[in-house]
Amino acid sequence: MKLSNILNALGIILVAFGVIMVTPIAVALLEQEYSSIIPFITAALTSVTLGLLFQRYGGFSRNFDNIRRDEGLLIVSLAWVVTAAMGAIPYLFYDLHPLDAYFESVSGITTTGATILTDFSLYPKNFFFWRSLTQWLGGMGIIVLFVAILPQFAVAGRQMFFAEAPGPTEEKVTPRITHTAKALWLVYVLLTLLEIILLTYTGMPVFDAVCNSLTTMAAGGFSPHPLSIMGYENSSVTWIITFFMFLAGSNFALQYRVLFKQKPLALFHSEEFRFYTSIVVLVSGGLCIALLNDGKVEWMDGVRDSLFQIISLITTAGFSSADFALWSVAAQTVLFTVMLVGGCAGSAGGGVKVIRVLFGFKYLKREITQVIHPKAILPIKIDHKTVPNDIQRQILGFLLFYLVIMTCSTLVVTIIEGNAGIGLVGTIATIGNIGPGFGEIGPMGSFGGLSPATKIIFILNMIVGRLELIPFLAMLHPDFWSFKK
C-alpha cells in the first residue's frame, strides 16, 4: 500500500467533512442559540486542519487512478473512524465523557441509533440536528457521498465504493461509478424531502420533521423526541414513517429504476424484495396476534404498532412507536427474530441483509435435496441467475464470521456486565446497527450506564457491522499491512 494515497484520500474526506460540519450553525442562528455555534466551528476547523495536514504529508496528490483494493479497504475503514472522531467533538462541549461522545458519534454515523443520552432537555436543537445529520450522511455512506461530489475520486471511487458496502454483488445503475453514486443520492434526497413535507403536513413541527426524516431514510433511529415516535402520539406520523422506513430498507438501485428508468415493476421482479416484503407481512401478522392475545392493545393499534416495529427492526432503523421492552416474552421473541435479518442489499439498512438470508435458505434446501439425489447438479439461483461459486463462498464466509464475532462479543460483554441479556441483545443491536434492545438498553433506555469496556466493544461492533466485516477481516491478514512511500 502507498501511504501517500491513504493520507491524501483521508485528507480530502476530512476537509469535505469539516465543511459539512458548518451546517448545524444555521440551525443555531435560526433558533437564536448562539452559544451552541462554538462547538461546531471548533469541530469544523479541527477537521479541515487535520485534513490539510494529512494532505501535506501525503504530498497533496490528486491522482488516485491506480488505487489498489487493499488501499481502498483501509481508506474506507479509517474514514469511518476519523469522521466519527470529528463528529464527536461538538458533543464534548456538552459535558459528555470523550468515550460517550465517541460512542454517540459512531452510533450516529453508522446509523445504529444506540444512545448514551438520558436527559434530552440539556441540549440545544442544533445538537439534535447534528445527530440526525450524521445518520443521514452515514445511511447512504460517507464514501458514496464523496465519490458523488468530489472529482478526485472519479476513477478510484470504484474500489472505495464497493469496499464501503461489500455486499454479495456489485450492482451499478449506470456504467460509471460516480454517476451511480449520484443516482443513489438523488433517490435518497428526493425521498427525504418528500417525507419532510408529509410529516409537516400531519402537524409535526418542522424541526422535528426534518430530523426524523433524515434518520428515517438513513434507517438510523435518532429522534429529537426522548420517547421516539411514540412521543408524538400521532397515528398519521407513525404510518408515514413506517412507509419510508420500508423504502429505506429496500434496494435504492431498484428504486432508481422505478423512479427514473420507467420500470415500475423492477422492485417486484427482485426475488430479494419479494422475500423482504413477505418477511415483513408474515412476521408483523404473528406479532399482531401476540399483542392481541395479551389483551393490551386495540385491533388497529396492534396492526399499526406491530407493522411499525417489525419494519423498524428489520431495516435496523430502531425507532419506537411503543415501549416494546414492556411487551410479553412471546412478542419480544418475534421482534428478536427480525433483528437477525437486516435490510436489503443496496439499502440504508444494516444487519446480515435479506439477500444473504435468502441465499442461506436456498443453500440449505439444495443440501437437503442433494442428500436424496447425491449426483444431481443443483445450481443456486437468485433472480433466475446462478450464484457464482466465489460469491457463494463469500456469503458463507460472511455468515460464519458474523456468527463468530457475535458469539465472542456476546460472551465478553456478558462477563463484563454480568448480564446475558445485555451481552446477547446489545451485541446483536450494535453489530447489526439496530440501536435499541430490550431491558435497560431498550427503546426508552440508554447505553450510558454500561461499563467503558462494553462501550468500546460496542463501538467496534458498530463500525465492523456497518462495513459488513470484509475490511475488518482483511486487516487480520499480515500481508495487508505492507506499506511503501
Instruction: Please say whether the beta carbons of 249 and 351 come within 8 A.
Output: no
Is residue 344 in a domain? no
Q: Report the C-alpha gap between 5 and 155 in whole angstroms.
A: 13
Binning pLDDT at 50, 70 and 90, where does residue 144 land? low
The pLDDT of residue 63 is: 61
Q: Does the pLDDT at position 161 exceed 70?
A: no
The pLDDT of residue 75 is: 83
Is residue 365 in a domain? no
Is residue 360 in a domain? no
Is residue 301 in a domain? yes
222 in the Ramachandran plot: left (φ > 0), alpha (ψ -120 to 50) or beta?
Answer: beta
Is residue 47 in a domain? no
Number of structural domains the chain divides into: 1
Q: Report the C-alpha gap between 427 and 351 in whole angstroms.
A: 12
The pLDDT of residue 368 is: 93
Q: Report the C-alpha gap between 201 and 143 in whole angstroms.
A: 33
Mean per-residue pLDDT, 13-18: 92
Is residue 384 in a domain? no
Q: Which helix (H) or strand (E) holds 474?
A: helix 470-475
Domain that holds residue 270: 265-335
Over residues 410-457, the pLDDT tens digits come to 999 999 999 998 999 999 999 998 988 887 888 888 899 899 999 999
The pLDDT of residue 58 is: 74
Q: Does the pLDDT at position 31 exceed 70?
A: yes
The pLDDT of residue 204 is: 94
Q: Report the C-alpha gap between 64 and 50 in whole angstroms.
A: 20
Distances (CA, A) of 20 to 166, 191, 282: 26, 20, 41
Is residue 28 in a domain? no
Is residue 322 in a domain? yes
